[in-house]
Amino acid sequence: MSVRPSPDRLGGEQPAVQLIGYGSLMSGLGLATVERLEVLDAARVRLRNCRRGFGKLSRFGDRYAMALDPVRSGEPIVAQAANEGADGIDALALTLPLDAFRRIAAREGYRPEAIDLLVEQAGEDGMSLPSFLWRVLEAASFDHARYRGRLFELTGFTSAHYIPHPVAVGGGSPAITFLAPGREGSGCDAVVPIRVATGMTTLLSLQEAWDLKPNASQIEYFVMCLLAAVHGISLGDLLDDVEEDASLAPLLGDRLDAERPREGERFMTLLGLDPERYRARFYTGEPPRRGEAR
């Protein structure tokens, strides 16, 4: 499969943006935290050339949020349909109107005004925002520090939390995800990444994150991520080394048990999916209904 996205030359308004969520944005419970979220389409995807784990101190509680780091430098992160091959990390691709994407950018700690500047410059070149960002990344030879430096030059802004990053999607238009900068920097020396400021530049397993943050806020975030399994999104890369922790297992189990019966309907409602489309995209049996869980 070619990983080079096809160019798009546009006229008129910017098209919808495909966003790839790999943490709390994979579940209905997590998506419900985004105000007035409008989703045009959604599908499971599998990411390659990356690994994920907990490790970025959250803006919304005393907990570690998810981070995604590339495995091989000089190469892009690639997304394919979830049924294409066994290797990779499962995630959720959401097709969003630009305004909804701006709100998620704000949630991730990236100013919507900076998104607007990038959209404006993309439009001047007749490109969509994802393809424009891909061109910037490609010109930087897939070097994250150079790419982020160029974004800072274009907008006068960068974030210590998460920064938009293009993802190759087969031979089609690229998508965007948000990466938490680490030692490679934010693109501006004056903006120190939170992962660097807190000394947490590695990726933690779920168990390791709990060992450092054994509190209700961390449990809440775990649940928002792990509910993705209800929709057939594999989380094996996060759960492989989870121990039967005397404090974690019952707390996590109780919260998941409480949320599972509501998660299917909540997810379908937020994503605007009827049961047939949900079954085709996410589920191999009967779609969850009120009071039922996978």
- What is the structure's pLDDT at 243? 64
Q: Is the pTM of this model over 0.75?
A: yes
Examine residue 286 and state whether it is found in any structural domain, yes or no: no
Examine residue 8 and state whether it is found in any structural domain, yes or no: no
Examine residue 154 and state whether it is found in any structural domain, yes or no: yes
CB of 29 within 8 A of CB of 223?
Answer: yes
Examine residue 291 and state whether it is found in any structural domain, yes or no: no
pLDDT per residue as tens digits for the range 63-111: 999 999 999 989 999 999 887 666 899 999 999 999 999 999 999 999 9
Which of the pair, 25 or 13, is modelled with greater confidence?
25
Examine residue 115 and state whether it is found in any structural domain, yes or no: yes
Q: Say if residue 157's pLDDT is above 80.
A: yes
Examine residue 198 and state whether it is found in any structural domain, yes or no: yes
Q: How far apart are the first and last CA of the chain?
A: 33
The pLDDT of 163-181, averaged and rounded, is 93
Q: Say if residue 162's pLDDT is above 70.
A: yes
The boundaries of the domain holding residue 143 are: 16-281
DSSP string of 148-181, one letter each residue: HHHHHHHHS---SS-EEEEEEETTS--EEEEE--
Highest mean pLDDT among 213-217, 242-246, 277-281, 290-294 belongs to 213-217
- What is the structure's pLDDT at 242? 66
In the chain, how many domains are there? 1
Token couple for 83: 């049924």
Examine residue 2 and state whether it is found in any structural domain, yes or no: no
Highest mean pLDDT among 9-13, 37-41, 249-253, 285-289 belongs to 37-41
Token couple for 189: 């020396």
Examine residue 34 and state whether it is found in any structural domain, yes or no: yes
Chain mean pLDDT for the chain? 89
